[in-house]
Amino acid sequence: MDIKINYSKAVSQETVMAYKQQIAEAQTMLHNGTGKGNDFLGWLNLPKEITAEHLQDIQTTAQLLRQECEVIVVIGIGGSYLGAKAVIDALNNSFEWLQNGKTQIVYAGQNIGEDYLYELQELLKNKKFGIISISKSGTTTEPALAFRLLKTQLEEQQGKAAAKDLIVCITDKARGALRTLATQEGYKTFVIEDNIGGRFSVLSPVGLLPIACAGFDITRLVEGARRMQDVCGQSTPFEENPAALYAAARNALYTSGKKVELLVNFHPKLHYMAEWWKQLYGESEGKENKGLFPAAADFTTDLHSMGQYIQQGERLMFETVLSVAEPNHHVDFPYNEANLDGLNFLAGKRIDHVNKMAELGTMLAHVDGGVPNIKVEIPVLNEYYLGELIYFFEKACGISGYILGVNPFDQPGVEAYKKNMFALLDKPGYEEASKAIKARLA
């Protein structure tokens, strides 16, 4: 069993099959490296290129940190943290943060909130903590700021020598401030290869080390990704390739006038999987005034808030449901003598049965309301199938971006806010831009 896609409630088979030629061309561009952004294709064959020694090195480092630390702070932003958080949240107990005696993973460098950083510093006071600092460029402001604060705190609490063994950096092999600092201080490091962009880096040490630190089996995760590398490979017929079918279906819906793809789940553990997916598709396709806007909702929770708009608002979206076939645990609906809520007709049924009927009912209601529905089904939430899911979405994203005609592997638009922020902060070198931006505000 693998992850499956069903687009029958979204577009006709004929419409999807009409993409056969375009899909074949996109696959060729990816596999022959002849398309736009071809210097960022390191993710394509990554699962099968990961060696047992590399996984062992990551696991050994994770074990050391887990042995030593009550808390591990993962510092990174965008592609440098979302993939790890997506997998960790999907696999963790929902109340992990209340469980004593286990190494907790927390995050920093993904915002510039002063209160967030203050509260994190307070949490870490008198705790034995470690830091995984992740930045491909090694120069991103948000993680650099967080690392400065937390490195200082760690050195004050543990002493510089002991702190050194509790810090791991994941960055470029030669360039950037983080690489320079890691070399100067003698930190353990892992490399982000030049040809792997942030949002495609979850199967590199960027994702694997934090996931291993959270206690999960990265070997199984990579095995699942390897399986999808075959299933979504160039030699798989279009009709059997889930990544190709998903890419074709969403492009058909975009061409038909849909502007928003809403990724929905019925398991709150998948909230951050959708955050990772939003970055993957938003940053890859949203350029040249083109691209579906990737949005997300957690159901049934958001059916009680966004459900009204989805059912009857502007008809601009389709839904992709991330469905989990089988939960990891079993809970039956209880019988109650008084039956004041009138729910005894469900007594003895699994909670998941109720959830599944909510999922089915929602799909039918939304389709009736003009919201086409694609279903992506994952057999169960475990490392193996999450590995499959990650590679499936990555491969579909590469194909989809090429069908759209953009470079799916760059993100030139991300620089605009940074330029303005540095000008407003009077960063040396930005004198002219500072004058210009302040004149606009005067």
Least separation, in Å, of the C-beta of 136 and ligand PA5? 4
Stretch that binds ligand PA5, among 136-144, 210-218, 319-327, 392-400 (CB under 6 A): 136-144
Is the bond into 362 cis (omega within 30 degrees of 0)?
no
Cα gap 356→353, rounded to integer Å: 5
The one-letter amino acid code at 141 reads T
- Identified binder of ligand PA5 from the candidate list 79, 210, 282, 387, rule CB under 6 A: 79
- Contact present, 197 and 44 (Cβ < 8 Å): no
Q: Does the protein bind ligand PA5 through residue 287 (CB under 6 A)?
A: no
- Contact present, 270 and 301 (Cβ < 8 Å): no
CB nearer to ligand PA5: pick between 140 and 400: 140
Cα gap 331→414, rounded to integer Å: 45
Cα gap 57→186, rounded to integer Å: 17
Q: Does the protein bind ligand PA5 through residue 136 (CB under 6 A)?
A: yes
Least separation, in Å, of the C-beta of 420 and ligand PA5? 16
Stretch that binds ligand PA5, among 14-22, 78-86, 121-129, 180-188 (CB under 6 A): 78-86
Q: Report in angstroms the alpha-carbon separations of 382 from 135, 220, 263.
A: 27, 9, 20
- Identified binder of ligand PA5 from the candidate list 35, 37, 42, 197, rule CB under 6 A: 197
Output the residue with the shortest Cβ distance to ligand PA5: 198
Q: Does the protein bind ligand PA5 through residue 407 (CB under 6 A)?
A: no
Question: What six digits make up the tokens of 437?
Answer: 């931006």
Q: Does the protein bind ligand PA5 through residue 389 (CB under 6 A)?
A: no
Q: Active-site residue numbers?
A: 283, 304, 418
Q: Does the protein bind ligand PA5 through residue 195 (CB under 6 A)?
A: no
Helix crossing, 383-404 with 218-231: angle to 10°? Answer: 40
Neighbours of 424 (CB within 10 A): 14
Q: Does the protein bind ligand PA5 through residue 205 (CB under 6 A)?
A: no
Q: Does the protein bind ligand PA5 through residue 78 (CB under 6 A)?
A: yes
Q: In whole angstroms, how large is the CA radius of gyration of the chain?
A: 23
Q: Which residues contact 185 (CB under 8 A, 6 or more apart)?
A: 164, 167
Q: Does the protein bind ligand PA5 through residue 80 (CB under 6 A)?
A: yes
Question: What six digits make up the tokens of 187?
Answer: 């930190």
- Identified binder of ligand PA5 from the candidate list 283, 298, 359, 394, rule CB under 6 A: 283
Q: Does the protein bind ligand PA5 through residue 204 (CB under 6 A)?
A: no
Binding site for ligand PA5 (CB under 6 A): 77-80, 135-137, 140, 143, 197-199, 283, 411
